[in-house]
Amino acid sequence: MVAGRARAARVVQISDTHLSAGLGAPPGWAEFVACLHADPPDLVVHSGDIVLENPDDVADRAFARKLIGQLPGPVVVIPGNHDVGGYGPEDARLRARRVKVFVEAWGADRFALDLGGWRVVGANAYLLGDEEHDAWLAAACAGDRPVAVFVHQPLWGDPDDGWAMPAGAATAFEHALAGADVRLVATGHRHCAAMADRGERRSVWAPSLRLLGDVASAGTELRDVDPRPGIVEHTLCVDSSHQFTVHRW
């Protein structure tokens, strides 16, 4: 490679690990960790639902930190509904405390960094509509660089089926991204791999590392029929295009 020349960036996305002290590591975890150490990516993103199901389970959180700590850095995480609660009124009442605990455990509930010629951003899906969070997200995505955004809950789909963001959160998300050159929105939550292109923006759903599902939204161009857990490897190209591969074991 010629010195100073930009290169494509590799980002490995894992999602919905649902880690539990009682259940132990997901099948194939040791092999997955070994593969990452053998060929480390530029970044590992965990796109939420790190713990099994209870945001307040201290043992599960400690176990998850132990396992995620085995991955080669840099590693960034964002919360899922099982990490800080979903969109319901009771979850909203507990949100501030749970986000505080999440930040204490993982260092942050969001991230923004530059990788090659891209801006890579992770948002807290459950603070969308919060003035401070949305102002941060808008500032993080601003500029003329291509942007890849990671967020746990899918932006589009049926907002009443429990899998897509509610309309209010989706509107806040789109408002924060307005004017930015967003090329990729990468999510989890549905426990299956799916992809859809809308204009220059690509949406990619990551499969679960533990729990399998088949709840891809209608209209996706890739529907998951593989019964194995998996991850997504994203390639952020120097020409602002995006490629991805779903890896299984």
pLDDT at 3 over 50: no
- The enclosing domain of 72 has a CATH number of 3.60.21.10
Range of the domain at 30: 9-248
Judge whether 1 lies within some domain: no
Q: Is residue 2 part of a domain?
A: no
- Is it the case that residue 215 has pLDDT exceeding 80? no
**What is the pLDDT, as a whole number, of residue 160?**
60
Instruction: Check residue 151 and give its pLDDT.
Output: 99
| Model confidence pLDDT, tens digit, residues 179-212 | 999 999 999 998 888 888 988 899 999 999 887 6
Cβ atoms of 158 and 164 closer than 8 Å:
yes
User: Does residue 56 sit within a domain?
Assistant: yes
Average pLDDT value for residue range 75-90 = 97
Does residue 113 lie within any of the structural domains?
Answer: yes
Residues of the chain with pLDDT > 90, as a percent, come to 78
Residue 165 maps to a domain: yes
- pLDDT score at 162: 67
State the total domains in the chain: 1
pLDDT at 117 over 50: yes
Radius of gyration of the chain (CA): 17
pLDDT of residue 23: 93
Residue 4 lies in a domain: no
- Residue 71 covered by a domain: yes
Q: For residue 3, is it within any domain?
A: no
In terms of Cα–Cα distance, which of 170, 165, 132, 176 is closest to 48? Answer: 165
